[in-house]
Amino acid sequence: MEQTAIYAKLTDIFHDLFDDDSIVVTPELTAKDVDGWDSLAHIRLTTYP
């Protein structure tokens, strides 16, 4: 899978988990950049189906 496809899939996951379609996942993205990213959101992210 190409890096571009990976980031596109991650962006879809972030849109779903954080209910925010403005998020674009890049290598530079951090938790501070995403409203609502807390410890519970982190767990949900790591256990996303």
* Per-residue pLDDT, 28: 97
* Per-residue pLDDT, 9: 97
Q: Output b/e per residue, 10-44; b: 16+ Cβ within 10 A.
A: bbeebeebbeeeebebeeebeeeebeebeeebeee
* Per-residue pLDDT, 19: 96
- What are the residue boundaries of the structural domains of the chain, listed by start? 3-46
Tell me how far CA of residue 9 lies from CA of 15, 43, in angstroms. Answer: 10, 18
Single-letter amino acid code for the residue at 10: L
CATH 1.10.1200.10 fits 3-46, yes or no: yes
* Per-residue pLDDT, 25: 98
Question: Closest by alpha carbon to 8, among 19, 24, 28?
Answer: 24
Q: What is the pLDDT of residues 11-48, one digit of tens each?
A: 999 999 999 999 999 999 999 999 999 999 999 999 99
